[in-house]
Amino acid sequence: MVSDITAAIILVAGLFILLAAGLEIAWSVGIIATVGLVLFVNQPLSQIASTAWSSLDSFVLTAAPLFIFMGAVLADIGVADHLFSGLQKWLGRLPGGLANTVFAGNAVFAAMSGSSLAATAIFAKTAVPAMEKLGYQPGLALGSVAIGATLAPIIPPSILLIIYGSWQHLSIVRLFAAALIPGLLLTGLFIASILIRAKLDPTLAPPSPSASWSEKIAALKEISPFMLLILSVLGVIFGGIMTPTEAAALGALLSLLLSIAYRRFSLSMLTKSLLDAVKVTSFALFIVAAASLLSHVFNILGLFPRITELVLGLGIGKYGILVLLLLLYLVMGCFFDAWSMLFITFPFVMPIVIAAGFNPIWWGVMYLMASEQSLVTPPFGMGLFVLHSVVPHHSIETIVRGALPFFIPIYINVLLLTAFPQIALWLPSLLL
């Protein structure tokens, strides 16, 4: 009979072996959890159904497929084209105007989609050709598109925050409120970094043609339907009028009405959007169930208290622990995406976060800041491959070099959130 520690080591090693072999994370976690359940904690297989049901029996989780459906419908309308065209009229004349437009467009698109990979693909098709035509330095053009997509899971409504909040039994409304200001602040820091770089070296981003006031007014009309949709969905959530699930249903309905208004509605579009929602939701909930089962096994083995005690015993203080966690996600981000890291690490990390005295609402936002870098960190950053598939004439190395300077505003935002937690916690406290 092996000891609890030995069993835990065997299970963790087995998990990483399966992941390294290329097996999908949901199956890897599920297999290891099942092995641990049967061999090391001596519980019946019926526990799988019990744990899965208890982890997924949540009204809040029904918001996820509705928000995904809303984003899929709006993407089919060509929302990114409208956003880029409209915002360009207002931001184009600023230093690095098209790159600024990419970041502003991503911030708006984030409030309608929440998908980093979708944002990468859509803005690569829309913005990169426009920046190449004006003579933008390739690294700046590609880097802005790659990093801009990291705003998608941060600015609400965020699917990752819905999953995190449901799993950790936290208020989704408070999580959305906590992420809003940091997400907008990060957008501002990205734009500020572009303004500074383009001002210091104008050859990086040649100026765009100026737009007349009549063109600017027309641009406002072009983007106003999408802005009204965002304000409607977030307004009813933060105003306490609707739950996130009800607001998601409202957003789905409004997106369908917009597709009819833009004459893009069709049975094939509806089918595709529904399938997108089913695929992404099934993927996420399968992992939630598997991760909950693995957490159940490790909890019986007593692993979590021992890891928490070990980390707290390092004597590095709460901010030393925070740095340790940020480094963990920086390294893991080279091999895993934000979803995978959430489900692999949170059973271990959350007890440490709580024991160190960090607010779990605040930590949810910090995790998004730390983990979304995985989109562009080599060798397995998914955003790199998506962007390269759209613009294959540019190498992945060029994309990475262009994205790296934007890590500076990300970590400035992390420092600001650490020094002033109220940046994330003020709005939730106001709503409460």
Mean pLDDT of the chain: 90
pLDDT of amino acid 402: 93
pLDDT of amino acid 432: 67
Average pLDDT over residues 309-335: 92
pLDDT of amino acid 1: 58
pLDDT of amino acid 336: 84
pLDDT of amino acid 395: 92
- Secondary structure (3-state) at 105: helix
Q: Are 157 and 111 in contact (CB under 8 A)?
A: yes
Q: SS3 string of 155-192?
A: CCCCHHHHHHHHHHCCCHHHHHHHHHHHHHHHHHHHHH
Cα-Cα-Cα-Cα torsion 377, 378, 383, 386, nearest 10 degrees, comes to 170
Average pLDDT over residues 372-380: 87
pLDDT of amino acid 404: 93
Interatomic CA distance for residues 167 and 119, integer angstroms: 26
**Taking Cα atoms as reference points, which of 71, 15, 9 lies closest to residue 303?**
9
% of the chain exceeding 70 in pLDDT: 99
Phi-psi sector, 42: left (phi>0), alpha (psi -120 to 50), beta: left
Q: Domain limits of the chain?
A: 4-431
Average pLDDT over residues 354-365: 95
| Site of tokens 């982890």 | 55
Q: In the chain, how long is the greatest CA-to-CA distance?
A: 79
- pLDDT, tens digit, for every residue of 184-207? 999 999 999 999 999 999 899 988
Confidence band, pLDDT 50/70/90 cuts, at residue 361: very high
- pLDDT, tens digit, for every residue of 137-159? 999 999 999 999 999 889 999 88
Which one-letter amino acid corresponds to residue 41? Answer: V
> Is pLDDT of 2 > 80?
no
SS3 content of the chain, % helix, strand, coil (to 5): 80, 0, 20
Higher pLDDT pick, 113 / 125: 125
pLDDT of amino acid 19: 83
- pLDDT, tens digit, for every residue of 232-287? 999 999 999 999 999 999 999 999 999 999 898 999 999 999 998 898 888 888 88
pLDDT of amino acid 431: 82
